Amino acid sequence: MSTPPARRRIAATVRGVVQGVGFRRFVERTGNRLGLAGWVRNAEDGSVLLEAEGPAAAIDELITALHAGPPAAWVRSVELGELPPSGAADGFTIRSGAHRGD
């Protein structure tokens, strides 16, 4: 019997040129491709906020993607925090929030 992969849950704040460049859609597609559960939204201060949960290797891959961003973005920083896993089902969504567009 194999052991299921360890789960991680993170909260992240991404700063730089990350609104109006398709960043939320990029994160949503990446999260769904990786089989993660979570959400992403724009914040009033121009940053992008997200939470993601899933296998540790998939979370690591998402973190790498956050640092790169989509082609039109310029990521200055990614602030990460660890949260206790909640056991959320798969599915990554865009949440509405304060934003200048995207």
Summarised one tens digit per residue, pLDDT across range 45-73 is 999 999 999 999 999 999 999 999 999 99
Q: How confident is the model at residue 96 (pLDDT cuts 50, 70, 90)?
A: confident
Distances (CA, A) of 57 to 4, 9, 35, 43, 69: 12, 12, 11, 27, 18
Instruction: Let me know if 32 is a catalytic residue.
Output: no
User: What distance in Å separates the CA atoms of residue 52 and residue 12, rounded to the nearest whole number?
Assistant: 8
50 or 1: which leads in pLDDT = 50
Mean pLDDT of 11-18: 98
Point out the catalytic residue in the list 8, 9, 41, 42: 42
Question: Tokens at residue 66, please?
Answer: 């956050």
Q: Is the pTM of this model over 0.85?
A: yes
CATH code, residues 7-84: 3.30.70.100
CB atoms inside a 10 Å sphere around CB 23: 25
List the catalytic residue out of 8, 9, 24, 41.
Answer: 24
24 as an active site residue: the answer is yes
- The torsion region of residue 28 among left (phi > 0), alpha (psi -120 to 50) and beta comes to alpha
